[in-house]
């Protein structure tokens, strides 16, 4: 089953403390966003990529897409204040009757195999997300004191991509916007509508490059993947 993907890349990268949007940081000589875009460009089931960028970075993104020969980018749209606003802009430019993936520009290590299982699940359930079981013990804390220890067997750490039938994710984003509902991921808006969301187990290497430490992990993952090739 073919799909379209919305890639939000319109953040500031504040936690990375690089003095610029982390999408332009280089990994093995290529910008982070290019690693992510290439993954989908090379995925046989990906029909089109909608890239969401900061207004003043749209031209740079366009040039990079051209320079690195990324062929499936159909639009580069202006992002919004929050990630959710950026994703909504991307969803709004697509149409019904398709599976839409949402994937962070800052997650360059998703695999074709996980994408394929995700899309199959989204067709069956309407909504599916990639996640991994939590490894640490998680506690709820208030004012420096432990309130509760959560049942670890019920906890999953959620990643992107997240995949949806377009009509469902479009409705979720529109209604969330009308009611000022903010979620830290897109699936939480679908959950808020009362719709089921299926989990697809992914892998721990699908990290989001968020803080400077993640650059070290990224280098290690790239080294291992090159060795396996
Ligand atoms: N208004 C925003 C905020 C974030 N994003 C994108 O959403 C993804 C996940 O967000 P995050 O890792 O938090 O990136 P930043 O917002 O850039 O980081 P920070 O919060 O540290 O500033 C990133 O690809 C980021 O570019 C976006 O498109 N629009
Ligand atoms: C969507 C996400 O990547 C799932 O883990 C995450 O919630 C994004 O959060 P951020 O605070 O915008 O990085």
What are the tens digits of pLDDT across the range 52-101?
999 999 999 999 999 999 999 999 999 999 999 999 999 999 988 899 99
Q: What pLDDT is recorded for position 2?
A: 97
The verdict on pTM exceeding 0.80 is yes
CA of 73 to the centre of ligand 1 (A): 19
pLDDT at 104 over 90: yes
CA-closest candidate to residue 166, choices 22, 6, 13:
6
- The atom number, within ligand 1, closest to the CA of 107 reads 24
Are 185 and 173 a contacting pair, CB within 8 Å?
Answer: no
Instruction: Tell me which architecture the domain covering 3-228 has in CATH.
Output: Alpha-Beta Complex (3.90)
- The atom number, within ligand 1, closest to the CA of 21 reads 17
Rounded average pLDDT over 176-204: 98
Which of 90, 185, 199, 211 gets mutated to test ligand 2 (max ligand atoms within 8 A of its CB)?
185
Count of CB atoms situated within 10 Å of the CB of 98: 16
ipTM comes to: 0.98
Rounded average pLDDT over 116-120: 98
Please, which pLDDT band fits residue 26 given cuts at 50, 70 and 90?
Answer: very high
Rounded average pLDDT over 142-146: 98
What are the C-alpha distances in Å from 104 to residues 32, 97, 137, 162, 181? 11, 23, 26, 10, 20
Which of 160, 173, 199 gets mutated to test ligand 2 (max ligand atoms within 8 A of its CB)?
160
Q: How far apart are CA 187 and CA 190, in angstroms?
A: 5
Give the residues surrounding ligand 2 with Cβ less than 6 Å away.
83, 104, 158-160, 184-185, 208
Q: Is there an atom of ligand 1 within 6 Å of 106 CB? A: yes
Give the pLDDT confidence of 2-17 residue by residue, as tens digits: 999 999 999 999 999 9
Give the pLDDT confidence of 145-189 residue by residue, as tens digits: 999 999 999 999 999 999 999 999 999 999 999 999 999 999 999
Q: What pLDDT is recorded for position 56?
A: 98
């Amino acid at each position: 089953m073919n799909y379209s993907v919305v890639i939000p890349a319109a953040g500031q990268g504040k936690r990375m403390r690089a003095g610029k949007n982390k999408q332009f940081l280089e990994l093995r000589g290529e910008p982070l966003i290019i690693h992510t875009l290439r993954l989908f460009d090379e995925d046989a089931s990906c029909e089109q990529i909608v890239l969401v960028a900061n207004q003043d970075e749209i031209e740079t993104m366009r040039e990079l897409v051209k320079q690195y020969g990324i062929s499936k980018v159909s639009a580069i749209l202006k992002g919004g204040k929050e990630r959710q606003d950026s994703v909504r802009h991307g969803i709004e430019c697509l149409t019904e009757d398709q599976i839409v993936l949402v994937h962070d520009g800052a997650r360059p290590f998703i695999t074709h195999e996980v994408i394929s299982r995700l899309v199959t699940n989204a067709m069956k359930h309407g909504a599916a997300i990639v996640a991994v079981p939590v490894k640490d013990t998680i506690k709820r804390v208030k004012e420096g004191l432990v309130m509760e220890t959560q049942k670890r067997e019920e906890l999953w750490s959620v990643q992107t991509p997240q995949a949806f039938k377009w009509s469902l994710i479009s409705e979720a984003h529109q209604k969330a916007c009308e009611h000022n509902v903010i979620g830290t991921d897109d699936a939480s808006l679908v959950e808020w509508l009362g719709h089921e969301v299926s989990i697809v187990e992914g892998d721990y290497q699908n990290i989001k490059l968020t803080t400077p430490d993640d650059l070290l992990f990224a280098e290690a993952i790239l080294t291992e993947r090159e060795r396996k090739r």
